[in-house]
Structure 1
Amino acid sequence: MSDWRMPAETAPHERTWMAFPRAGRTLGDDPDSAEEARAAWAAVAHAVAEFEEVTMLVDPSASGDARRHLSSSIELVETPLDDFWIRDSGPTFVLPTDGSPRLGAVDWIFNGWGAQPWASWEADREIGAFVAARAGAGILPSLLVNEGGAVHVDGEGTVLVTETVQLDPGRNPHADRARVEAELARTIGATHVIWLPRGLTRDYDELGTRGHVDMVATIPSPGVLLLHAQTAAAHPDHEVTRSLRDLLSGQQDAAGRSFEIVDLPAPAELRDEHGFVDHSYVNHLVVNGGVIACGFGQPASDERAAAILREVYPGRRVVTVDARPAFARGGGIHCITQQQPALV
């Protein structure tokens, strides 16, 4: 049995961590597009700050932009960054299983989502340890190449992963399921691993992660699965999400419960200038007393998603923020945030 466990995202938070956009491949070269990204990250930070503290990592080259976009309610911490997807480059916070008031942080190996040819990670591979030290957490080193967006837990031992991430030859060429499961048990207290065969179609494009689970499914409460549903038959994810639903309908969680599956339909828009979109409302962030939801400029679809989120997270206020600038760069609201659990 592990000495540590990753709590559910619905557990109380001490704060949320983010990283501010800096110049690079993901930000883009167009000044207007870059400003759009900065404004989008700031909008998420200010939405989260309505519910809990926010600490924003800022590369020194972007400090002026950060101060221009962020209010004094956001704590700024300068440190070198390659990119700004803190869910993936940052640590995964854990708590001791004995209930003592200590904070741990799993420092996964980060290699640019499987050594993507466009990515750089010399600075980002140090972010896990940097954030852990800043948060006063004990570091749990790991030899597993992994990212925070590649796992979702229920806080009771269940974890969702995808074969194309943890078993990716660009990440863990010598790993098999047993080795990955043993490391997830040691680091985050996983006692039951559910393997999805893949993620959404666009996640395998140039700026994709090769199948992060936080675009596909999450566990809003033990025994309940919130699953991305692409209802348009013309979209390649229509078959993907149907197959995932069939697989998950036969699964049980760590406690032996069969899952209640709640479909979270994709927005009506199917394409952008690059092809079929992977717009997913599953990629939201749960905060203290609230949910920061992805919006895609489609009032009917956005409100339907917000209504479902209010139902599966009872008592929490749902705040929708335009997530299109983040998705255009390869991620969503969950991807640009990382929760630090409270010591309660």
Structure 2
Amino acid sequence: MAWRMPHEGDPHERTWMAFPNEGPTLGDDPAEQERFYAAWSAVANAVAEFEPVTMLVDPVQAARARTMLDGAIDLVETPVDEFWFRDHGPTFVVDDERPGALGAVDWIFNGWGAPEWASWTKAAAHARFTAGLVGAEVVSSLLVNEGGGIHVDGEGTVLVTETVQLDPRRNRFADKERVEAELARTIGATKVIWLPRGLTRDYDEFGTNGHVDIVATIPTPGRVLLHAQQNPEHPDFEVSHTLRAFLQEQTDAAGRAFEIVDLPAPETLRDHEGFVDYSYVNHLVVNGGVIACGFGEERADAQAREILEAAYPGRRAVTVDARQIFAGGGGIHCITQQQPALTSAEATR
């Protein structure tokens, strides 16, 4: 059995999400909560224009979800506490030696390092629950990990961050060798690239301690889209330069040096909490499209769409305002998870 995580640009069966429920990351202010629900729904409705969407919904939110979501979106009622589905849902994998075999990696999820504010016991059951819904084989793992902590090229390369998988709050006794062995077993990684860190805001109380999916992604094998903060007043200006220099020294699983494409940050530097981590890297690739984060900046949002459409030829980029999602600790990629279509060599990269 040789599991492999497909590239995000390979054909999808559908996208999975979870509808927000009351809790720490939803906030206490009713107006803010409504903006949260609206932003989540806007993402789901945008994805539904390109491919099927299934949404896990806590029964207490079912009526709200039916009102706010496109009627084509499938709703499945189940208990929900945390709702950042990329992180607590399954990571889908395939077995090239068994056409039609679908696996679902069930990482251990502890709320991004078991912070005091997090509530995750219901969310931790979603990977197996989802696997059961689609008939996927559960691939159990003892690694504390989240889907936002990995990005793959589908050919053996995976990007991770030293401050996530080696976080002692997640994996107290882990070292790189143990993590790499588990990533090889579960997602077919043959080359693990360890970014030294993530973006500054991501180390705040409600951050993930450096998820890679807000920093860098691989649109096609051999190429990296890298978050580029261009204002020296922002601490991520130095972070961007450090990560670019690091990636210039790396090679992928096939031995290729990376072509690095900058994806400039918007001009906004701060919100009421401090320096923002607004990043266009945190997009979702869908069948025929890209769902891009928007930050209320017409020029910057348009530039990001142009870069994304060039990086994913043949796809149309659509912007969804993601500022309220980022205020909660993540972006569009963080709240979605793709299920690969069980086809062989029909990748549309």
Structure 2-normalised TM-score? Answer: 0.97
Runs of 4+ in 1 over 6 A off after TM superposition: none
The match for 2:191 is 192
The match for 1:290 is 289
1:29 Cα deviation from its structure 2 partner? 1.5
1:312 partnered with 2:311: yes
The match for 2:234 is 235
The match for 1:264 is 263
**Separation in 1, partners of 2:64, 2:82:** 15
The match for 1:139 is 138
Which residues of 2 match residues 323-334 of structure 1 at below 5 A?
A: 323-334=322-333
1:72 Cα deviation from its structure 2 partner? 1.1
The match for 1:5 is 4
| Partner-residue secondary structure (3-state), 2:24 | coil
1:84 Cα deviation from its structure 2 partner? 0.9
Which residues of 2 match residues 1-344 of structure 1 at below 5 A?
A: 3-344=2-343
| Partner-residue secondary structure (3-state), 1:184 | helix
Q: Deviations over 1:232-252 (max 9, x none)?
A: 001000001100000000111
**Separation in 2, partners of 1:135, 1:328:** 32
**Separation in 1, partners of 2:285, 2:175:** 31
Letter in 2 for 1:63: A
1:104 Cα deviation from its structure 2 partner? 0.4
**Separation in 2, partners of 1:132, 1:152:** 21
Letter in 2 for 1:21: P
1:64 Cα deviation from its structure 2 partner? 1.7
Q: Deviations over 1:106-142 (max 9, x none)?
A: 0000000010111011111111111111121000000
**Separation in 2, partners of 1:124, 1:42:** 19
| Partner-residue secondary structure (3-state), 1:43 | helix
Q: Deviations over 1:207-235 (max 9, x none)?
A: 10000000000000000000000000010
**Separation in 1, partners of 2:96, 2:176:** 24
1:99 Cα deviation from its structure 2 partner? 4.7
**Separation in 1, partners of 2:42, 2:83:** 15
| Partner-residue secondary structure (3-state), 1:332 | coil
**Separation in 1, partners of 2:65, 2:26:** 14
Letter in 1 for 2:56: L
**Separation in 2, partners of 1:103, 1:216:** 28
1:67 Cα deviation from its structure 2 partner? 1.3
| Partner-residue secondary structure (3-state), 1:113 | coil
| Partner-residue secondary structure (3-state), 1:107 | strand
| Partner-residue secondary structure (3-state), 2:159 | strand
**Separation in 1, partners of 2:188, 2:208:** 24
1:60 Cα deviation from its structure 2 partner? 1.2
**Separation in 2, partners of 1:149, 1:199:** 12
Letter in 2 for 1:136: G
**Separation in 2, partners of 1:207, 1:61:** 25
**Separation in 2, partners of 1:176, 1:26:** 30
Q: Deviations over 1:165-202 (max 9, x none)?
A: 00000000000000000000000000000000110000
**Separation in 2, partners of 1:138, 1:99:** 12
| Partner-residue secondary structure (3-state), 1:291 | strand
**Which shifted more, 238-247 or 22-31?**
22-31
| Partner-residue secondary structure (3-state), 1:264 | strand
Letter in 1 for 2:50: F
Q: Deviations over 1:43-88 (max 9, x none)?
A: 0001000110000000112112111211211100011111110000
**Separation in 2, partners of 1:278, 1:228:** 10
| Partner-residue secondary structure (3-state), 1:114 | coil
Taking only the aligned residue pairs, the percentage that are identical comes to: 69
1:33 Cα deviation from its structure 2 partner? 0.9
Stretches of structure 2 that go unaligned for 5 or more consecutive residues are 344-349
**Separation in 1, partners of 2:250, 2:27:** 41
1:31 Cα deviation from its structure 2 partner? 1.4
